Chains A and B, each alone.
Chain A
């Protein structure tokens, strides 16, 4: 029941874990961009196939993966349904009051659904298989150009690291609050929209209170342990780029090119 796992690092040893974290981010971004520019059925078949391969290779387990992402998939599914019902154009198949099902709506909704599906799968695998410290370091590296407009890179790294560090804590907090309110008779699975919004307030209000409390405590303990901003910090891990990483990069670039060419109208 409480298997909401988005954004959580799951230690493991499969191939994907051993890839260079920078490569993983670049590859993820490329694949997500590819899925967003794609309009083509074949393109989505290829991208979903790649998603399948990635999940399989990551060895996190299919059931676990589906359980962990089903909330997001359910959300984008709902959004797509709304999009189908409320957009209008092309051939109209069905019409009732303000609702219409049209070829235009179906097309837009299925595009959006597939794109977000690919994005969620790839992001989830990235977060599951990459150590938070490495993610923070990568983000810091990517933001390097911002240095010249006066942004402090160490701050960016630290903020990312803290945000990732608190993901599991917040997930746990959400689960605890859900449990507490379920015990007071809230039924999150089956009720009207109004009730559902109300039940979510019962979680969000205490959640925000606790986030603020934690932030305050964290700031205090950091100051007490001598943290000052503006000092340069070094990293405990150094990642290196292997030949295999280059190979993967080439493959991903090829896929990107393929999707791109599928979508160019000659």
Chain B
């Protein structure tokens, strides 16, 4: 399912002394079945933007088109339930939202709210818990007894069990160790290809963008400054974004060595490039 923003503006506490315009005239498309990453400095409006994608906030100007439903400032809150069913949202530190007595019940909460029967909800919960890699033994435990990383998976399963067509995540990897982050990202990639999910993800990790995203949107001061593919964004150094570590490393090498000047954007590419350029015999100079 595709999401389109047309001239969207958003002001917090409109008509008050605290009024603050967090988004200015944004026009943007999140293509269906793709993984789009949103990057930008802290305070640039990323979290505000994604809250518009499932009707948690209503744009103060312009319109958000989700599939074939239009949300603008005249939209009534009754009409938003369908949008929320279609667009699942996983918040930052999502482990903090768990509340039920057992892991299984917590995951069933969403499906039950969206009108599934008890039986269907159990099936969905079990299915998605398995998909995110939670062991059967943990189903009847209290969610607070799990580790932080496990709790986050349960929270993710809780959203996936609502069977959304679009999944929106706010910094899903923050605070996870390298391996857990890598696992989480490949899980998202798998969901994207297996179930045709459209994924939109806010992240501060350029490595995640370079390795996993199909599209990248760069935000600055509440506006979109670039909207492109990760390769385009990172392969030259003239852009003002921070580069992934692989590219930074390569850039340092370029200072002292006569090597190709297109930057590799992830580790695999970097290794291949180095193998090609620094052959033990022949190749470029040592």
Contact = CB atoms under 8 A, between A and B. Distances in A.
Interface stretch (B51-59, B189-197, B253-261): B51-59
B162 A184 contact: yes
Interface residues of B, number: 31
Nearest to B112: A185
A243 interface: no
Contact of B84 (A60, A63, A183): A183
Contacts of A206: 96-99
Contacts of B15: 61, 63-64
Given A179-B56, A187-B81, A60 B17 contact: yes
A30 interface: no
Contact of B91 (A67, A179, A190): A179
A3 to B, nearest CB: 6
B98 A185 contact: no
B141 to A, nearest CB: 16
Contacts of B88: 183
Nearest to B99: A205
Task: Give the most central of B56, B88, B97: most A CB within 10 Å.
Answer: B97
A182 interface: yes
Contact of B56 (A64, A182, A201, A209): A182
A83 B20 CA distance: 41
B91 A180 contact: yes
B58 A1 contact: yes
B172 interface: no
Interface string B62-95: 0000000000000001100100110011010010
Contacts of A205: 99
Contacts of A189: 77
A255 interface: no
Given A179-B51, A180-B91, A183-B56, A10 B17 contact: yes
B99 A201 contact: yes
B117 to A, nearest CB: 14
Task: Give the most central of B51, B113, B114: most A CB within 10 Å.
Answer: B113
B96 A210 contact: yes
Interface in B239-285: none
A189 to B, nearest CB: 6
A2 to B, nearest CB: 8
Nearest to A177: B97
B3 to A, nearest CB: 15
B109 interface: yes
Given A61-B15, A61-B17, A1 B57 contact: yes
B18 A64 contact: yes
A202 interface: yes
A176 interface: yes
Contact of B99 (A1, A64, A185, A202): A202
A186 interface: yes
A59 interface: yes
Contacts of B158: 184
A69 interface: no
Contacts of B85: 185
A180 B51 CA distance: 10
Nearest to A213: B96
Q: Which 9 A-B pairs have CB atoms at the shortest separation, nearest pair first? A: A185-B113, A64-B16, A184-B110, A205-B99, A183-B89, A180-B97, A185-B114, A63-B15, A61-B16
Given A183-B159, A202-B109, 17 more contacts: A1-B57, A1-B58, A3-B13, A10-B18, A60-B16, A63-B15, A63-B16, A64-B18, A179-B89, A182-B56, A183-B54, A184-B113, A185-B81, A185-B162, A186-B113, A205-B99, A210-B96
18 contacts: A1-B56, A60-B16, A60-B17, A61-B15, A61-B17, A64-B18, A177-B96, A180-B91, A183-B54, A183-B84, A183-B88, A183-B159, A185-B84, A185-B114, A201-B99, A206-B97, A206-B99, A210-B96
